[in-house]
Amino acid sequence: MNKTAALKFPRLTTSSQKRALKRITINLTADEAQNLEKYCEQTGQLAIDVIRELIQALP
């Protein structure tokens, strides 16, 4: 992949640039799940992106 494509499409990276990922599972109450779904509908974000942003904001 050329550098221009990597700059325009940062998610399209080569295998050497991929970060190691760890899959986790969380259990939510019905109210928590409903709150998350409602927030996602209001913001147009995916739940995974909302959760990831919250984790990244932790100190």
State the helix-helix crossing angle for 30-43 and 47-56, rounded to 10 degrees: 100
In a domain, 40, yes or no: yes
pLDDT of residue 19: 77
**H helices within the chain, ranges in order?**
3-8, 30-43, 47-56
Distance (Å, whole) CA 7 – CA 12: 9
In a domain, 3, yes or no: no
In a domain, 13, yes or no: no
In a domain, 7, yes or no: no
Amino acid at position 26, single letter: I
Per-residue pLDDT tens, the chain, 59 aa: give them.
455 554 566 565 555 567 788 999 999 999 999 999 999 999 999 999 999 999 999 99
Range of the domain at 28: 21-59
Question: Count of domains in the chain?
Answer: 1
In a domain, 44, yes or no: yes
In a domain, 10, yes or no: no
pLDDT of residue 15: 57
In a domain, 2, yes or no: no
